[in-house]
C-alpha cells in the first residue's frame, strides 16, 4: 500500500499516466478478490466495508418501485448491518420475516420454505455466525430460493479468509466482503453481484464502480484488500487447519481444567475453524475479563444492575440468562501461535477460578 500513499496518488478515473497506474492497480485487486470467491472480476464492486455492501443490496433491491413493499427474509441473529436496513425497509412499508434457529445456531429451512411467497424479493442469510461460528447451509437455502426465483444474499464477512468460499458452490446472487476481517485495512470492503443482476444505487454520482457505488476509489485501501485476498487464496488450505488445531487445543484445555458446567456453543462439526464461544459456569464474563486486560475477548451478554441482556445469537439458540452471562467468544487468527494460545487458555482458567471462588 505504501507507494499509493507516498507517490502513486493519481485519480484512477483520469486518463493520464498517473491515473492509469492507479486504475490498473484497482483492476489487479479486483482480479485477486474474484479469484478468492470464484467470481469474474466484472462481478466485484469495491465499497467502504461490509456495512455499506449490505445496505447496497437490501436498499438496492427494495428501492426498486416494483419491490418497495416486497418481503425480505433474513435470520433472527444477523449483524446490525443487516438488521438495521431491514428495519428501514419495514419502516417504508415493506415486510420482513426473521427465521428461527436451532440450538446449534442453524436457520430453520422448513420455516424458510414455508414462508417464501410471491411477494418475497430477497433472502439474506449470513454465511457464518460472528459469535458462535456456525456455518449456514447456504447451498440448501439457494436451492429453495431458486425454485421460487428469489434472489439470495449472504454476508460473508466472517467466513472469507477462514474457509473456502465459492459463490457458485454456495449459489448466491450477492456476497458481502469486509476487508478488515481478512487482514486488509478497516474501511474497505467489496460486494459481489452476479453478472446480469442490477441494484438501485443508494448514492448517485459519476460512473465509478459502474455506477453501483459512485465516488473516487480509495486506491491504497483497495490495493491492500487485493493483496489480502491474494494471500488468503494462497493459504486457503493451510490456514483453516492451523486455526482449527489451535482453537481445539485451547478449547480442550479450558474444558478439561474447569470440568463440570462448562459448555461450548455452536455446531461443533460445521463452524468456523477459528471461533469458540464458551459458557463459563457461575461467573459474569465481563467481570472475569476485567481481570485479564492482556486478552482481547468479547462477551455474549451485557450485564447492567443485576440484569442480563443476551445477544440475538445467544437468545436464538435458547441460552438462559444465567448461562449467557458467562459466555466468552474466543477467536484466533492466521498468525496466532501455539504459545499465545496456551498463555490465553491459562490466563482464562486462572481468571475463572478466582471469580468463581469469590462468588
The residues assigned a catalytic role are 303
Sequence-separated (6 or more) residues with CB below 8 Å from residue 41: 27, 30, 31, 33, 34
CA R_g for the chain: 22
- List C-alpha distances in Å: 33 to 43, 130, 178: 10, 21, 12
Sequence-separated (6 or more) residues with CB below 8 Å from residue 248: none
C-alpha span between 262 and 326 (Å, rounded)? 9
Distance between the two ends of the chain, CA-based, in angstroms? 51
C-alpha span between 26 and 40 (Å, rounded)? 14
The backbone torsions φ and ψ at residue 207, rounded to the nearest 5 degrees and listed phi first, read -95, 25
C-alpha span between 94 and 67 (Å, rounded)? 8
DSSP string, 103-147: TTS-B-HHHHHHH--TTEEEEE--SB-TTT-BBP-HHHHHHHHHH
Which residues of 4-113 form beta strands (DSSP E)? 44-47, 71-75, 95-99
CB distance 158 to 127 below 8 Å: yes
Q: Tell me, rounded to whole angstroms, the distance of Cα 14 from its chain centroid.
A: 34
> Does an H or E element contain 301, and which?
strand 301-304
Q: What is the largest CA-CA distance in the chain?
A: 69
* The residue to which cell 479450558 is assigned: 254
Amino acid at each position: 500500500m505504501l507507494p499509493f500513499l507516498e507517490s502513486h496518488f493519481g485519480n484512477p478515473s483520469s486518463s493520464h499516466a498517473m491515473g492509469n497506474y492507479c486504475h490498473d492497480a484497482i483492476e489487479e485487486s479486483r482480479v485477486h478478490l474474484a479469484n478468492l470467491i470464484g467470481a469474474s472480476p466484472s462481478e466485484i464492486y469495491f465499497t467502504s466495508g461490509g456495512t455499506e455492501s449490505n445496505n447496497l443490496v437490501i436498499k438496492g433491491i427494495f428501492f426498486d418501485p416494483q419491490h418497495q413493499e416486497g418481503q425480505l427474509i433474513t435470520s433472527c441473529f444477523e449483524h446490525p448491518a443487516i438488521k438495521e436496513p431491514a428495519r428501514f425497509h419495514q419502516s417504508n412499508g415493506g415486510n420482513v420475516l426473521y427465521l428461527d434457529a436451532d440450538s446449534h445456531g442453524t436457520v430453520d429451512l422448513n420455516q424458510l420454505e414455508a414462508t417464501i411467497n410471491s411477494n418475497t424479493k430477497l433472502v439474506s442469510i449470513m454465511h457464518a455466525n460472528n459469535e458462535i461460528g456456525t456455518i449456514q447451509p447456504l447451498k440448501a437455502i439457494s436451492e429453495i430460493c431458486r425454485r421460487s426465483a428469489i434472489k439470495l444474499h449472504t454476508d460473508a464477512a466472517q467466513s472469507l479468509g477462514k474457509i473456502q468460499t465459492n459463490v457458485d458452490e454456495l449459489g448466491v446472487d450477492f456476497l458481502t466482503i469486509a476487508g478488515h476481517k481478512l487482514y486488509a485495512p478497516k474501511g474497505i470492503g467489496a460486494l459481489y453481484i452476479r453478472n446480469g443482476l442490477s441494484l438501485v444505487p443508494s448514492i448517485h454520482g459519476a460512473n465509478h464502480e459502474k455506477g453501483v457505488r459512485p465516488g473516487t476509489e480509495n486506491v491504497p485501501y483497495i490495493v491492500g484488500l487485493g493483496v489480502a485476498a491474494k494471500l488468503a487464496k494462497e493459504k486457503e488450505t493451510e490456514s483453516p487447519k492451523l486455526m482449527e488445531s489451535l482453537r481445539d487445543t485451547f478449547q480442550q484445555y479450558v474444558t478439561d481444567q474447569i470440568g463440570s458446567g462448562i459448555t461450548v456453543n455452536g455446531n461443533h462439526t460445521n463452524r468456523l475453524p477459528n471461533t469458540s464461544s464458551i459458557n463459563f459456569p457461575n461467573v459474569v464474563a465481563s467481570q472475569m475479563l476485567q481481570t485479564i486486560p492482556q486478552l482481547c475477548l468479547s462477551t455474549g451478554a451485557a450485564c447492567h444492575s443485576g440484569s442480563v441482556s443476551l445477544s440475538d445469537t445467544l437468545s436464538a439458540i435458547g441460552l438462559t440468562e444465567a448461562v449467557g452471562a458467562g459466555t466468552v467468544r474466543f477467536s484466533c487468527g492466521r498468525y496466532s501461535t501455539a504459545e499465545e494460545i496456551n498463555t490465553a487458555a491459562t490466563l482464562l482458567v486462572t481468571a475463572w477460578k478466582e471469580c468463581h471462588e469469590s462468588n
